[in-house]
Amino acid sequence: MAIQKYPVGLQDFGKIRTEGFVYVDKTRVIHSIVERGGYFFLSRPRRFGKSLLISTFECVFKGEKELFEGLYIYDKWAFEEYPVIRISFSNIGYRTKGLLKAIADELIQIAEQYDIVLKSQKEDIANSFDELIKSLHKKYNKQVVVLIDEYDKPIIDYLDKENIHKARENRNVMKTFYSILKDADPYLKLVFITGVSKFSQVSIFSDLNNLNDITMSPDYNTICGISQVELEDNFSVELLTYDKQKIKEWYNGYRWDYAGDTLYNPFSLLKFFSDHGRFNNYWFATGTPTFIIDLSKENKFYNLQNTKANSLLLSSFDIDNLEAIPVLFQTGYLTIQSYDSLFDLYNLDYPNHEVKSAFLQYLAKSYMSTSIQEAQTMPQDLIQALKNNQKEKLEEAINRSFSHIPYPLWQKENEHFYHAIIHLLFSLLGVYIHSEVHTKDGRADAIILFEDHVYCLEFKLDKTAEAAIQQVKDKGYLDAYRNKASHFHIIGINFDSEKKKVDGLIWEKV
């Protein structure tokens, strides 16, 4: 039996509070926003609490004070009721209706809830939105609150190559829809917009120069997600029941302020508790868009550790020129580890074990055109061969891994392709692997540190294993590792693109 009632997937603040589900109090930061008012934009990955945040704002502005008893905001806000326009783009049926009609129908439905009849043409969504705001202001003689959740869903859903034209069409529709907000400022108390991506900052919200992007603000780092303090305050019994350190390794690590607290993924954490402490890739399994894996592969991103990016790059997301780093950061596959203010460079990495292991599995599946199960099991033979110093077994395991790759792919790929697969296979086992390690005379293809052994792997395509071995020796790739282990190995591997297998593997102990 579960220790508490966990609101897994619940996004309704009222239901969580009235039906006894555990709620991590975020009303301190919510209070700072409602007191201030204005226009806010927040980007966070999917399943990170954005919809619950929007629902909480709605309850605050509808004056439902009883729901907040015992929370920070309870005796600090007047709970005066305001007219609220709340639109969740994940629930308006744009896939079946088309985005224009879906927005038009949603505006009419909201107007009907307030007994307002819109006079604008039904699919003139800009004027309808403007009319709705002004009508609510006039009827209640109060400023209006606009809450937009998952604003980018109609674009994110169509970023694969076959449907990118739909993403562009929907972007234009949304630009028209939001265009009226700037001139509606006198009628608005708060505009709060959430989404996964920030690519529309330029194109969709171009007229909203007063939009306050709080995505990477130190004051709002913990607005979604669960901090270590919040975990210990709200789940103390669970932490006595399950492995506290392992929970942290699996689900903690997200951060949007380089000096701020790291955060747990709330969906994965609550699923873990509700499943009685079973470690699993809960968040990743809820749906990783194919375009993210494809984009990583196209950009030759198979080792995301210690990725560098400046502020400008992290804030960009142009659907006409998608770049892997901002996409991976904004969607939650990379997070901030540190920041160099002198060069305005962020150091990014996987947030935790869940994201790293699942991402590598899916990427290996994509590279090798195999199943997830096969991507998980194939590396085991490789590590056993290394551990037992079995040259033949290593060659056999590598060939078995590559045997899944379709023949046409072999013909068009290059040395990088095979290097990437080897890296992914070993990384899936949690081996400490460096890929393309820079030395003073060049770069080693891969350095593996494992059980007091250092393995230097050099890969060649349609050349010779001897050439690979000689390169390692000539360049001194192992020199920097002499004090890090007791045993050293050079492994030269040549791939034959015609035979579709290893054609020469030399293993030397040095």
pLDDT band at 497 (very low <50, low <70, confident <90, very high): confident
Please indicate, yes or no, whether residues 201 and 297 belong to a single structural domain of this protein: no
Residue 42 domain-assigned (yes or no) = yes
Task: Judge residue 210's burial from the number of C-beta atoms within 10 Å of its C-beta, 0-12 exposed, 13-18 middle, 19 or more buried.
Answer: exposed
Which residue's entry shows tokens 């502005």? 61
Residue 346 domain-assigned (yes or no) = yes
Please indicate, yes or no, whether residues 336 and 381 belong to a single structural domain of this protein: no
Q: Where are the alpha helices (DSSP H) in 403-508?
A: 407-412, 415-427, 465-475
What is the arithmetic mean of pLDDT over 300-317?
84
Please indicate, yes or no, whether residues 395 and 330 belong to a single structural domain of this protein: no
Please indicate, yes or no, whether residues 202 and 325 belong to a single structural domain of this protein: no
Convert the pLDDT of each residue in 17-42 to its tens digit: 999 999 999 999 999 999 999 999 99
Q: Which element (helix H / strand E) includes 110? A: helix 99-113
Residue 268 domain-assigned (yes or no) = no
Residue 263 domain-assigned (yes or no) = no
Please indicate, yes or no, whether residues 504 and 380 belong to a single structural domain of this protein: yes
What is the arithmetic mean of pLDDT over 392-397?
90
Residue 414 domain-assigned (yes or no) = yes
The residue out of 183, 201, 220 marking a domain boundary is 220
Q: Which element (helix H / strand E) includes 461? A: strand 453-461
Convert the pLDDT of each residue in 200-256 to its tens digit: 444 677 777 788 999 999 999 999 999 999 999 999 999 999 999 999 999 999 999
The residue out of 220, 236, 269 marking a domain boundary is 220
Give the residue numbers spanning the domain of 65: 25-220
Please indicate, yes or no, whether residues 340 and 426 belong to a single structural domain of this protein: no
Please indicate, yes or no, whether residues 294 and 377 belong to a single structural domain of this protein: no
Please indicate, yes or no, whether residues 418 and 497 belong to a single structural domain of this protein: yes
384: Cβ contacts below 8 Å, ≥ 6 apart? 390, 393, 397
Q: Which of 216, 248, 284, 280 is nearest to 46 (CA)?
A: 284
Residue 8 domain-assigned (yes or no) = no
CATH of the domain at 212: 3.40.50
What is the arithmetic mean of pLDDT over 445-468?
90
CA distance 80 to 435: 58
Please indicate, yes or no, whether residues 80 and 119 belong to a single structural domain of this protein: yes
pLDDT band at 495 (very low <50, low <70, confident <90, very high): confident
The residue out of 220, 250, 269 marking a domain boundary is 220
Residue 357 phi/psi, 5° resolution?
Answer: -65, -45
| pLDDT for residue 409 | 61
CATH of the domain at 503: 3.40.1350
Please indicate, yes or no, whether residues 313 and 382 belong to a single structural domain of this protein: no
Please indicate, yes or no, whether residues 348 and 389 belong to a single structural domain of this protein: no
Task: Judge residue 203's burial from the number of C-beta atoms within 10 Å of its C-beta, 0-12 exposed, 13-18 middle, 19 or more buried.
Answer: middle
253: Cβ contacts below 8 Å, ≥ 6 apart? 262, 263, 335, 350, 351, 352
- Which two three-digit tokens encode residue 207? 């007229």
Residue 260 domain-assigned (yes or no) = no
Name the domain count of the chain: 3
Residue 184 domain-assigned (yes or no) = yes
Please indicate, yes or no, whether residues 334 and 383 belong to a single structural domain of this protein: no
